[in-house]
Structures are given as C-alpha cells and as structure tokens.
Structure 1
Amino acid sequence: MKTLVAVVLVLSSSFRALAADVPTRPDPIKTVDSFVPTFAFTGYFWAAGLNGRTSTFPPLPATDLDMTFGDVLKDLNGGIMGAAEMRIGRWGFIADTMFSQVTTGATLPGPYFSSAKVRSQSVTLQASAVYRIYSDETFDVDIGAGVRYWNLDNRLKILPGALNLRIDVSESENWLDPILIARLHARLGGPWSLTLAGDVGGFDAGSKLTWQAVGTVNYQWNEKLTLKAGYRALYVDYAKGNFLYDVTQHGPVIAATYRF
C-alpha cells in the first residue's frame, strides 16, 4: 500500500507541474468533507481487442489469441457496460459491470461433421471503495481496494454430417480477485479535465495476476453531464487445471457520466 501511495503522489506532482500555467475553473471546489451523498452513472463503450493465450475447452491444447476489435465486432451478439458511483464525504463506492457475448462458426472439412459453432459469454463485475487522500484546486487523489468477479462460459457445438453425430461441449469458470486501486483526477482549466486510474490484484487468491489501467480526457458539458474519451487496458492471468485464460483486453473507450 505504501508503494501504491508513493506512485500516486509522484503522478500528482508531475501533473501539477504540467498544469501550473493552465487557468483553473472559476467554480468553487466542493468540500470533500460534506456528508451529503452524491451519485453518478457512467455508460461507456469499449472498443477492445484481445491478445494472449487461452485454453477454455480442455483437454484441447492452448492457442494464441490475437483479435482486433474489428474481428470481435464481426461475431459480437451484444454487450452491456456501465458503472455507478456514490460519494459520501471523502469516501466513494463504485460498481462496474461488463457483459458480452460472441458467437462464431466454421464449416468443417470431411463428411463426418458439417460445421462447428462456439458461443462465448464473459461477465466482469467490480465493486470497490476509495478514500480521497488529497484534494485541492487542481487535483483529487483517491486510493482504495475492492474485488473483481469474473465468469467465462463457453459452449462448443459440432453439428452432424454423414455420421448423424452431434457433439456438445461446455466449460464454465468463475473466480474472484482482490484488487488495490489508485485514481487521479486533474482539472486542466475551463470544462476540461484528465482522469488516470489503475488497479492491481489477483495475488493467487483467484487469478495469478490482474491489472487495469484507464486514462480519459473529460469535457464537462454542463453541471450534470461529462463526456469522456480515452484508452483502457485490462489484463488477467488465470489457470486452473487445464483451463487457461491469460489475456489482455485493450482499446479506446468513450463514455458519458451523469451526476444527480
């Protein structure tokens, strides 16, 4: 935790130097010690590709994974992405949800089977609490901890050909990762701001290692609505028996946050 705090303070010092000559917004800074709760909901779209190595249908061997977002989009059935935050004084409580389903298929050579279809569902839920350790005209710095839940559900269907034989295989894994969190918000002047956030966890409690890094440039459209654009990366290395999921998801993200 001491190392995490040190990294956040170094980042804070660096961005203070960059923003020293930028005029700050004239609006007064809200008192972080106010105990009136505030709420924010963020809907976002993450154009993520995938890279890594997986074996999600043991005992089939592990295979390399290298997919752009365009590759994913071709087979994407749908998804839900959103986050909610409640703040009370210096405390923030955050929930983040991601769900996606992809279905792909191929024609098989030979007369015995006709085709194969793979349906893959992914659910990631994160709950965390953060505490504001520093706040001034330019910067807010939060640190905290939480848990990230993963569920991967895969189904393989091999459809019959000359043998009139059908094969159905399913594999599902779920696990829970503890995580440590740091977040920096920098006001750049006028309606503009910058947010950097990251976490690290796993520690062999669920996965061997997981980490996440997010950076966005924000534009405050009005008192309640903020538009955001940036980049996000999420990594996990999970293995259990012959099941392996060592994957990085990364790509641009756009979002809108509404406060009420």
Structure 2
Amino acid sequence: MIRNLSGAVAIAVLGSLPALAEDWSGQITPYIWATGFGGDITPFTGAPTLSFDKSFSDVLEDLDGAFFLSGYARQDRLVLMGDLSWSSSSKSGRVPPGLPAEGKLTQRSLTMLMGWRAVENQGFSLDLLGGARAWSIKSSIAVAGGLIHASPGKNFVDPILAARANIAMGPQWSALVYADFGGFGVGSESTSQVLATVNYEVNDNLWLSFGYRQLNVDYRSGGTEVDVRMGGPLIGATWRF
C-alpha cells in the first residue's frame, strides 16, 4: 500500500490512497492561509494608484474577512480539482498632493481543473492538468472624505495549465509541490500560483498539512489595473471519503 497525499490547486493539500479503477475517491479541505499582500491598484483611468505592501500581521489588522476551501476527486488516473478563495482588505493613507484616501480590495477566485495522473509509482506521482480560474475583483477608492469616489468591479476567466508532484517521505509523511500558470491575455495578462506542503496522516480519514502558497494576478483593461501578489504560510485539515 502506498501512502499518498493529493492537493487542490491553491489549494490547500489533500491526501488519498490509490483508488480502484471503478471507484471514486475524494476529499475536502478547509484551510487557513496567513497571506501577506502586495501590489498596485488603479480603479480607473486617471485615478490615483494605491500601492499595498503588507505582512500578514498588517493584513490581519485591516482584514474584513476571508474564506478558503479546496476539493479533490480521482478515479483511476482521472483527476478533478477545485479551489475557492475569498478575501477582503482595506487600506487608508494619502495620495498626491497629500489628500487622505481609503482603498479596499475584495477578491474571489474559483479554480477548476481536470487532469491525468501521468506518473505513478511507489513514492512518487505526477499529475498534469488544465482548466480555468474565474476571478471577481472589486477595487474602490475614496479621496478627501468621498469627494472623489469610485468602486469598479471586474469579472474575468483565465485559462490555466498546472502540474502537481506528490512525494512520499516515510510512514505517515508526504510532500506536495504544485504550480500553475495562465491568463495569456485572455482574461488577465497573467496569473500564477505555487504551493508546497508537508503532510501528516493522522488516521485513514484525516490529514494535516503545513506549507506555503502564493497567488498572483496581473489584470489590465479599460484603465483598470490590478497587479496583486498574495503569499504566506497555510495550515489545512483534509477529510477524506
């Protein structure tokens, strides 16, 4: 029997034993992502650009809310993955020529992938996947107490290519390395994600995972520019069924 852990795009990390050809196996993972936040946001043409550069402690102080959930299913070599991320954060400061300003960014992303287990042997597996990431991004800015105010929203879908390697590290331990890239000018200019975790099997139905995730998007359209990087450690708990 090979111990194996599988994760979703963004994932937070998932584990599964090899399934019989006629059976589906699956898991679901809520996770905590202690993400820092950096980037530039221009809500519309001529609007001031707000620059974010925050550690997780800064983000937590200004965080309005966050929710992260991933899922995974496999039948023989067919692999399905999904990841849902939602977060909202705010910032206040000043923009030239020294006017007080408040900015807010709310993002939702849903990644759905289908792929094939290209390599599977004792201690190692490799999945190759393709799919899409749907974004909903709303940025707002208020200058001089609302004298200037705008809150445009953008919805777009990016094609995604991904690869995931799963490595056994010994009894009850494994490692997961995942990367994707997409956009290609279809929705955003580019989007990418990397994830690396170490995973521990508590019992047949429960895994705990610890690692790092980074998610990037560079979107430009009609005067709106959102170039955002989100990254930090994560902790996940996977229920397998």
| Pairwise TM-score range, normalised by the shorter structure | 0.7 to 0.9
Q: Match of 2:152, SS?
A: strand
- Out of 141, 146, 152, the residue aligned to residue 126 of structure 2 is 141
Q: Deviations over 1:65-96 (max 9, x none)?
A: 31111111111121110011121111111111
- Out of 154, 167, 188, the residue aligned to residue 173 of structure 1 is 154
1:48 corresponds to: 35
Q: Match of 1:221, SS?
A: strand
**Structure 1 residue 106 displacement after superposition:** 6.2
Given that residues 122 and 153 in structure 1 are in contact (C-alpha distance below 8 angstroms), is that contact kept between their aligned partners in structure 2?
Answer: yes
Q: Match of 1:71, SS?
A: helix
Percent identity at matched positions? 32
Q: Match of 1:73, SS?
A: helix
Q: State the distance in 2 between where 1:181 and 1:196 align.
A: 11
Write the mapping of 1:103-122 to structure 2, written as runs, cut at 5 A. 103-105=90-92, 117-122=102-107
The amino acid across from 2:140 in the alignment is: R
1:189 equivalenced with 2:174 (yes/no): no
Q: State the distance in 2 between where 1:198 and 1:117 align.
A: 34
Q: 1:118 to 1:64 in 2, by over 3 A?
A: closer
- Out of 225, 230, 235, the residue aligned to residue 249 of structure 1 is 230
Task: Tell me the C-alpha RMSD between the 2 structures.
Answer: 2.4
- Out of 144, 149, 153, the residue aligned to residue 138 of structure 2 is 153
Q: 1:97 to 1:242 in 2, by over 3 A?
A: same
1:9 corresponds to: none
**Structure 1 residue 220 displacement after superposition:** 0.5
1:227 equivalenced with 2:214 (yes/no): no
The amino acid across from 1:43 in the alignment is: P
1 or 2, which has the higher strand percentage? Answer: 2
1:88 equivalenced with 2:75 (yes/no): yes
Q: 1:124 to 1:200 in 2, by over 3 A?
A: same
Aligned residues: 225
- Out of 223, 238, 253, the residue aligned to residue 219 of structure 2 is 238
Write the mapping of 1:29-40 to structure 2, written as runs, cut at 5 A. 31=18, 34-40=21-27
1:60 equivalenced with 2:44 (yes/no): no
Given that residues 28 and 69 in structure 2 are in contact (C-alpha distance below 8 angstroms), is that contact kept between their aligned partners in structure 1?
Answer: yes
Given that residues 111 and 132 in structure 2 are in contact (C-alpha distance below 8 angstroms), is that contact kept between their aligned partners in structure 1?
Answer: yes
**Structure 1 residue 100 displacement after superposition:** 1.1
TM-score normalised to structure 2 length: 0.84
Ranked by relative contact order (alpha carbons within 8 Å, sequence separation 6 or more), the top structure is 2
Q: State the distance in 1 between where 2:73 and 2:219 align.
A: 31
TM-score normalised to structure 1 length: 0.78
**Structure 1 residue 241 displacement after superposition:** 2.4
For structure 1, the residue ranges without an aligned partner over 5 or more in a row are 1-23
**Structure 1 residue 256 displacement after superposition:** 1.0
Given that residues 33 and 90 in structure 1 are in contact (C-alpha distance below 8 angstroms), is that contact kept between their aligned partners in structure 2?
Answer: no
Given that residues 43 and 140 in structure 2 are in contact (C-alpha distance below 8 angstroms), is that contact kept between their aligned partners in structure 1?
Answer: no
The amino acid across from 2:214 in the alignment is: A
For structure 2, the residue ranges without an aligned partner over 5 or more in a row are 4-15
**Structure 1 residue 236 displacement after superposition:** 1.4
Q: Match of 2:21, SS?
A: coil
Q: State the distance in 2 between where 1:69 and 1:57 align.
A: 27
Q: State the distance in 2 between where 1:62 and 1:166 align.
A: 16
The amino acid across from 2:56 in the alignment is: F
2:196 corresponds to: 215
Q: 1:31 to 1:65 in 2, by over 3 A?
A: closer
Q: State the distance in 2 between where 1:135 and 1:157 align.
A: 53
Q: Larger Cα Rg: Structure 1 or Structure 2?
A: 1
